[in-house]
């Protein structure tokens, strides 16, 4: 028989090695899935992971897109990781991403067709406040009525999607759009657009904000008392209470920061790559960021690398659909395998396998 035996202390080797092994197992299992679908598994994995970076036919487009896709994933995941470290589970970042985009876009469209340079900074603040306000709903309900923030934040995603549909077909719809759903194109109007900082690089203001968030989170967690309190609350809740950590303040802070960063990610997306509020604006970044956060071991630098890796699977997945005809659900399943293997292997960080011979009854 095999049983799990708790380790005295978490294994550092497994903590570091689990994400790497999870990626390898995902490639193997994904290759088998592609083979079942009638695709060459080696070619499929090569198209997903290597061609976007090294095939000159696609690299000119794919390399800048790597930063475009990674930016919102990293920004959202950084916010989520702070809460996850403290044992506060915000699963509804997708909803905060949507509301941030609506609020930021609404602010910019309110000044249309002005090209004032102060509009875009105002949009960023409006997007952050929108995401923050949406995250405050589960925060207040948890602190006041002890509700479960996982369920509340998740259910609010569906409310946000309903508001998004209403915005695209109603109060933010382009009056010159011949009745088609969707807002004016923010990316095509100076003053409300989120342009590339360096032409052809994919580096827009949202990507820069993601890098700043990584640095800020690293400093917070390693050089600030609040970061110590966040880690202590997650690892030893009773000790945190004895140390004077205020759980209500921590819940509001962590959910507020994660909501604000998700809202900013939504604004940067709607003012840049997406360009407008549309019915299908939300692309799953809020949910994928959960994978990024755990794949990066809730560490800012790890999240940076994990965000780039997941962005690569997005770009490579689209390329595999185009070049090989791989169905989109298979790509989504491939990305889901990564989280599955990571969570499965994560058990071995705190437990070791023990072989035990079954005793035969006499």
Q: What is residue 72's predicted lDDT score, i.e. its pLDDT?
A: 97
How many residues make up the chain in this entry?
A: 362
The per-residue DSSP string of 287-312 comes to HHHHHHHHHTTT-HHHHHHHHHHHHH
Q: What is residue 238's predicted lDDT score, i.e. its pLDDT?
A: 86
Q: What is residue 5's predicted lDDT score, i.e. its pLDDT?
A: 84
CA gap 285, 308 in Å, rounded: 13
Residue 140 neighbours by CB under 8 Å, 6+ apart: 252
Cis? peptide before 113, omega within 30° of 0: yes
CB 80 within 8 A of CB 290: yes
Residue 307 neighbours by CB under 8 Å, 6+ apart: 70, 73, 74, 77, 210, 292, 296
CA gap 151, 296 in Å, rounded: 24
The neighbour count for residue 77, using CB atoms within 10 Å, is: 39
The two structure tokens encoding residue 276 = 């407008």
End-to-end CA, the chain: 19
Distance (Å) of CA 283 to CA 104, 273, 278, 323, 331:
17, 12, 11, 22, 14
Residue 174 neighbours by CB under 8 Å, 6+ apart: 180, 182, 183, 184, 276
Q: Cα–chain-centroid distance for residue 238?
A: 30
The two structure tokens encoding residue 311 = 């962005």
Q: Find, among 109, 76, 114, 91, the residue nearest to 264 by Cα.
A: 76
DSSP H or E segment with residue 355: strand 351-355
DSSP structure class, residue 194: -
Q: What is residue 362's predicted lDDT score, i.e. its pLDDT?
A: 46
The two structure tokens encoding residue 27 = 């490639």
CB 69 within 8 A of CB 311: yes
The neighbour count for residue 106, using CB atoms within 10 Å, is: 18
Per-residue pLDDT of the chain (362 residues; tens, 9 = 90+): 778 888 888 888 888 888 899 999 999 999 999 999 999 999 999 999 999 988 888 888 888 999 999 999 999 999 999 999 999 999 999 999 999 999 999 999 999 999 999 999 999 999 999 999 999 999 999 999 999 999 999 999 999 999 999 999 999 999 988 889 999 999 988 999 999 998 888 899 999 999 999 999 999 999 999 999 999 999 888 888 888 899 999 999 999 999 999 999 999 999 999 999 999 898 889 999 999 999 899 999 999 999 999 999 999 999 999 888 989 899 889 988 988 898 888 888 888 888 776 555 54
Q: What is residue 359's predicted lDDT score, i.e. its pLDDT?
A: 55
In this prediction the pTM is 0.92
DSSP H or E segment with residue 354: strand 351-355
Sorted by where each begins, the domain ranges of the chain are 75-294
CA gap 280, 182 in Å, rounded: 10
Q: Find, among 70, 100, 92, the residue nearest to 304 by Cα.
A: 70
Q: Find, among 350, 348, 300, 357, the residue nearest to 22 by Cα.
A: 348
CA gap 248, 12 in Å, rounded: 31
Cis? peptide before 242, omega within 30° of 0: no
CA gap 98, 266 in Å, rounded: 6
Q: What is residue 358's predicted lDDT score, i.e. its pLDDT?
A: 56
Residue 241 neighbours by CB under 8 Å, 6+ apart: 247
Burial 267-293 (b: 16+ CB within 10 A, else e): bbbbbbbbbbbbeebbbebbbbbbbbb
CB 310 within 8 A of CB 288: yes
Which stretches within 167-299 are classed as H helix? 205-223, 225-235, 237-242, 247-270, 285-295
């Amino acid at each position: 028989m095999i049983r799990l035996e708790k380790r005295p202390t978490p294994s550092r080797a497994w903590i570091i090695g689990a994400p790497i092994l999870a990626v390898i197992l995902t490639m193997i299992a994904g290759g088998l899935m592609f083979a079942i679908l009638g695709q060459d598994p080696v070619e499929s994995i090569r198209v997903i992971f290597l061609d976007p970076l090294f095939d000159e036919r696609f690299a000119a487009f794919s390399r800048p897109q790597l930063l475009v896709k990674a930016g919102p994933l990293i920004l959202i995941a950084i916010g989520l990781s702070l809460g996850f470290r403290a044992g506060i589970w915000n699963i509804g970042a997708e909803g905060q991403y949507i509301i941030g985009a609506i609020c930021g876009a609404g602010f910019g469209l309110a000044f249309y067709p002005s090209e004032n340079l102060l509009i875009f900074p105002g949009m960023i603040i409006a997007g952050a406040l929108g995401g923050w306000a949406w995250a405050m709903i589960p925060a207040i309900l948890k602190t006041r009525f002890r509700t479960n923030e996982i369920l509340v934040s998740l259910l609010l995603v569906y409310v946000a999607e309903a508001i998004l549909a209403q915005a695209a077909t109603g109060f933010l719809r382009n009056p010159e759009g011949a009745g088609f759903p969707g807002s004016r194109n923010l990316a095509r109007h100076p003053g409300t657009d989120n342009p590339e900082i360096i032409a052809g690089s994919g580096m827009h203001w949202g990507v820069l904000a993601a890098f700043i968030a990584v640095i800020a989170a690293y400093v917070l967690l390693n050089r600030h008392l609040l970061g110590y309190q966040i880690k202590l609350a997650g690892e030893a809740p009773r000790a945190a209470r004895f140390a004077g950590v205020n759980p209500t303040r921590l819940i509001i802070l962590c959910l507020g920061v994660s909501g604000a960063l998700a809202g900013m990610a939504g604004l940067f997306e709607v003012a840049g790559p997406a360009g407008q509020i549309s019915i299908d604006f939300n692309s799953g970044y809020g949910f994928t960021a959960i994978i990024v956060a755990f794949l990066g071991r809730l560490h800012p630098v790890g999240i940076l690398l994990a965000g780039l890796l997941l962005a690569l699977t997005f770009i490579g997945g689209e390329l595999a659909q185009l070049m090989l005809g791989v169905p989109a659900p298979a790509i989504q399943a491939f990305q889901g395998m990564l989280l599955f293997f990571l969570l499965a292997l994560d058990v071995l960080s705190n437990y070791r396998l023990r072989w035990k011979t079954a005793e035969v009854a006499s």
